[in-house]
Chain A
Amino acid sequence: MPEIRTERDVGTLAQLSLSRIMERVESPRVGRALFWGTVFTVSFSLFALLLVSVTYLFVAGVGIWGVDIPVAWGVAIASFVWWIGIGHAGTLISAVLLVFRQEWRASINRLAEAMTLFAVACAGLYPILHLGRPGLFYWLIPYPNTMGIWPQFRSPLVFDVFAISTYAVTSLLFWYMALIPDLAKYRDRAQSRRAFFIYGVVCLGWRGTHAQWRALESSALILAAIATPLVVSVHSIVGFDFAASIVPGWHSTIFPPYFVAGAVFSGMAMVLTLVIPLRRVFSWEAFITLDHLDKIAKVMLASGLIVAYGYMAEIFTAYTAGNQFEKYVVENRMHGPYAAIFWTVMICNVVATQALWSPTVRRSKASLFGLSIVINIGMWLERYMIVVTSLHRDFLPSSWGMYSPTFWDWSTLAGTAGLFLSLLFLFVRFLPAIAVFELGQLKSKETG
Chain B
Amino acid sequence: MKSEKHAAPIFGFAAEFDTEEKLMTALRKARDAGHSKIEVCSPYPLKGLSDGTDREVRFFSATALAAISVGALLGYALPYYTSVLDYPLNVGNRPLNSVPAFLIFAIELAILAAAGSLTGLFLWRSRLFRLFHPVTRLSEFKRASVDRFFLVLETSEGLFDERDTRAWLEQLSPGKVYEIER
Mark A residues whose CB is within 8 Å of B.
Answer: 17-19, 22, 142, 148-154, 159, 162-163, 165-166, 169-170, 173-174, 177, 180-181, 184-185, 187-189, 200-201, 204-219, 221-223, 226-227, 229-230, 233, 237, 436-438, 440-441, 444-445
Contacts and interface: CB of A to CB of B under 8 A. Distances in A.
Contacts, number: 194
A217 B144 CA distance: 19
A210 B39 contact: yes
B129 A208 contact: no
Interface string B28-53: 00000000000111111111010111
19 contacts: A18-B43, A150-B82, A151-B82, A154-B83, A154-B94, A162-B104, A162-B105, A185-B145, A188-B142, A189-B146, A204-B128, A205-B128, A207-B136, A210-B51, A215-B125, A219-B60, A222-B61, A222-B64, A226-B118
A216 B118 CA distance: 10
B146 to A, nearest CB: 5
Contact of A218 (B57, B112, B130, B143): B57
B116 A173 contact: yes
Given A162-B105, A222-B64, A444-B20, A154 B91 contact: yes
Contacts of B127: 211-212
A211 B20 CA distance: 17
Contacts of A200: 131
A218 B53 contact: yes
Q: How large is the interface on B (under 10, 10 to 19, 20 to 34, 35 or more residues)?
A: 35 or more
B83 A150 contact: yes
B57 A221 contact: yes
Given A173-B119, A205-B133, A219-B122, A185 B146 contact: yes
B12 to A, nearest CB: 13
B18 to A, nearest CB: 10
A237 B46 CA distance: 41
B115 A153 contact: no
B7 interface: no
B116 A19 contact: no
A19 B56 CA distance: 30
Instruction: Identify whether the interface residues of A are mostly helix, strand, loop, or mixed.
Output: helix
Contacts of B53: 214, 217-218
Given A153-B79, A185-B145, A211 B125 contact: yes
A218 B144 contact: no
Contacts of A211: 125-127
Contacts of A445: 47
- A-B pairs, top 3 by smallest CB distance, nearest first, are A440-B44, A18-B147, A153-B79
A17 B147 CA distance: 8
B101 A153 contact: yes
A170 B112 contact: yes
B115 A207 contact: no
Nearest to B147: A18
A222 B131 contact: no
B151 to A, nearest CB: 11
A22 B60 contact: no
Contact of B123 (A163, A166, A204, A223): A204
Contact of A217 (B45, B91, B121): B45
B119 A148 contact: no
Given A162-B105, A207-B135, A184 B145 contact: yes
Contacts of B101: 153-154, 159
A246 to B, nearest CB: 11
A19 B45 contact: no
B126 A212 contact: yes
Interface string B7-33: 000000000000010000000000000
